[in-house]
Amino acid sequence: MLCLRSRRHLSTLAGTAPKLGALLLVGFALLSSSCSSSRSRLSDGESAEQARGAQPQDPEQRRIAELERRIARLQSEGEPATVALLEAELGELYLEESDLRRARRNFRLARYDAPREERVRRRVALGLGEVYLREGQPELAVDELEPLAKERGELSAQDELRFRAYLSLAYERTGKSAEAQKLRPSSFQEKEFLALRRRAGESGAPVAPLTSPTKPPVSTTPGLAFQVLPRSSWRASNPRDDQSPMGAVRRITIHHSAMEPTSAPLEDAAKQIRSIQSGHFQRGYADIGYHYLIDSQGRIWEGRDKRFQGAHAGNTDANERNLGICLLGNFVSVAPTPAQDRALRILVDAERARYRVSKDQVFGHGEVRKYFTGQSTECPGERLMTVVRDLRGGRAGNLADDE
């Protein structure tokens, strides 16, 4: 306002006294410049304030952003154990925020990045135990927490109390009240024990169990730790019409293709998958027998539509409600590539969570075929069976359990 009034006043003076007016107009120009500069600085100040406002203001959110930056930096430097510990810490922060989807994703990534790191394994088991309880999946919580019983002496006092609280709640929700009662702590820990149980009994933000897409395009849904290449990616032939409905999946069977491993180009894997489908058509199958295939680069491919029963395990009874996963390659004497190993673990973990399949219902093809037909097979190869046993958490498979 001062600048506008000064402009009008100086214009009047300039009209009555040309020389004086000229001098005053020079002065006004300097004043006007000062006004513009002030406005410019004010604008810059407002922009800076807005920029500051764009940063996370909540301490937890700032910590999350900081951890994500550190993880991204360390991943490029190749430090998997350190990255895994930070991913587990990030999962715990998301639990505090009740963001179960992101918590679950980060715990799983931590496990896959450093599967044999003891500190990571324990933190992940406790974290996923809480996630599954809060999602209403106590059976999966039991699967995560029970193996820690042998290591309770290695847990910190706080983690040991978390273990007691979470597993006792999981036992109660799966009808094992006697086992739950044995986990109650001494009286001086009772208050904190109950608080931990209450927290684990809460629901987080509504989320669907982690699933994998089976239709194009390739999934980019936030929170998925993997993507699935649809049938169109390998130019699948149309299936025949005589497929049987799958029903609810109750077991998962792992196979190998017993073929030469594929090379890096996408088309090499696509060509091999087409040849597998062609071979299955020649055997009279309605479609490719497997529901998923994993190539040497760790890419996951959609096989048979999961709405339909597969043709991979030995006979109709063996295939019933049985999800088939085939790794491309021959693993009798050669191990899967690290990328295949990681992709298989991620996929099995996700499908177990989706269908609530217990660990003892994950099998190698040879186990299922022998049980249902009495015939043996080398599939999926001993080196891949090592991974299958690890996926079961060291348990024996239980094919007699049809429930």
Determine the average pLDDT of the residues in 265-270.
Answer: 90
DSSP string, 101-169: HHHHHHHHHHHHHSTT-HHHHHHHHHHHHHHHHHTT-HHHHHHHHGGGGGGGGGS-HHHHHHHHHHHHH
- What is the dihedral angle through the alpha carbons of 234, 235, 241, 247, rounded to the nearest 10 degrees? 30
Going by C-alpha positions, the residue among 143, 69, 58 that lies closest to residue 99 is 58
Tell me the C-alpha distance between 297 and 341, whole Å: 10
Question: pTM for the full model?
Answer: 0.53
**387 or 72: whose pLDDT is higher?**
387
b/e burial code for range 129-160 (CB count within 10 A of at least 16 → b): bbbbbbbebbebbbbbbbebeeeeeebeeebb
Q: And the tokens for 215?
A: 């239709």
Is pLDDT above 50 for 49?
no
3-state DSSP of 297-366: CCCEEECCCCCECCCCCCCHHHHCCEEEEEECCCCCCCCCCHHHHHHHHHHHHHHHHHHCCCHHHEEEHH
At 57 the pLDDT is 59
Q: In what order do the strands lie in the sheet with 251-256?
A: 228-229, 300-302, 292-294, 322-327, 251-256, 362-364
Tell me the C-alpha distance between 162 and 284, whole Å: 53
336 contacts 384 by C-beta, under 8 angstroms: yes
Would you call the peptide bond into 209 cis, given omega within 30 degrees of 0 as the criterion? no
- Rounded mean pLDDT of the chain? 80
At 61 the pLDDT is 82
Is pLDDT above 70 for 330?
yes
* Residue 62 confidence class, pLDDT cut points 50, 70, 90: confident
Determine the average pLDDT of the residues in 234-244.
Answer: 89
* Residue 202 confidence class, pLDDT cut points 50, 70, 90: low
Is pLDDT above 90 for 311?
yes
Kindly list the structural domains of the chain, giving each domain's residue range(s) and its CATH number in brackets, ordered by start. 2-40 (no CATH), 59-200 (1.25.40.10), 244-391 (3.40.80.10)
**8 or 166: whose pLDDT is higher?**
166
360 contacts 391 by C-beta, under 8 angstroms: no
25 contacts 15 by C-beta, under 8 angstroms: no
At 351 the pLDDT is 92
Is pLDDT above 60 for 318?
yes
343 contacts 298 by C-beta, under 8 angstroms: yes
- Condensed to tens digits (0 to 9), the pLDDT of residues 32-41 reads 444 444 333 3
Going by C-alpha positions, the residue among 306, 317, 340, 322 that lies closest to residue 230 is 306
Is pLDDT above 80 for 228?
yes
Question: Sign of the C-alpha dihedral, residues 21, 23, 24, 28?
Answer: positive
